[in-house]
Amino acid sequence: MNLFGVMDVSASALKAERVRAEVVAANMANAETTRTADGDPYQRHHVVFEAEGAESFKHSLVNHLGGSGVGSMRLGRSVTADTSVDGGVAVTGVISDASAPLRRYDPQHPDAGPDGYVSYPDINPLTEMVDLMGAQRSYGANASAIQAEKNMVASSLDILK
């Protein structure tokens, strides 16, 4: 953890919540999609979040105090966006829900089967809306955490004055 360690953790949460909101939006957009590339109706998608290298605060503090001071210079490495931050969160995958499609009788529909029934994705707009609100709230909370962290660093700069 460096000066901006807390910020990196909150940033990973912002990224993850944005992906979650995008997946919910895709689910809502495709709530009536009866046809995808493989010919089946659209399947609802979920994101899977995973904690990254979660350590207790005490453990990392002791590590920090007892460990080596400055990290050795690693030369010639490429720049990577921190995909895994210790204590942060990462989206490990987007999996599709295997629930059975809803069957509705509509013989006029181009995707109707021989029995006149059409398979629609089992997507409830209410469930999706609640999920979207959750993502929105979490995003806001993490943005506030970043703001707090910025104020902390700014206060530490005021000590110099």
Angle at which helices 5-29 and 125-158 pack, to 10 degrees? 160
State both tokens at 96: 């599709």
Report the nearest approach of another protein to the CB of residue 115 (Å). Answer: 37
Report the nearest approach of another protein to the CB of residue 66 (Å). Answer: 22
Report the nearest approach of another protein to the CB of residue 19 (Å). Answer: 8
> Which residues are near another protein by CB under 8 A?
3-4, 7-8, 11, 14-15, 18-19, 73-83, 146, 150, 153-154, 157, 160-161
Burial category of 64 from C-beta neighbours within 10 Å (exposed 0-12, middle 13-18, buried 19 and up): exposed
d(CA 33, CA 41): 6
Cβ nearer to another protein, comparing 4 with 105: 4
Cβ nearer to another protein, comparing 65 with 159: 159
State both tokens at 125: 């707009």
Report the nearest approach of another protein to the CB of residue 26 (Å). Answer: 13
Cβ nearer to another protein, comparing 31 with 143: 143
d(CA 70, CA 157): 21
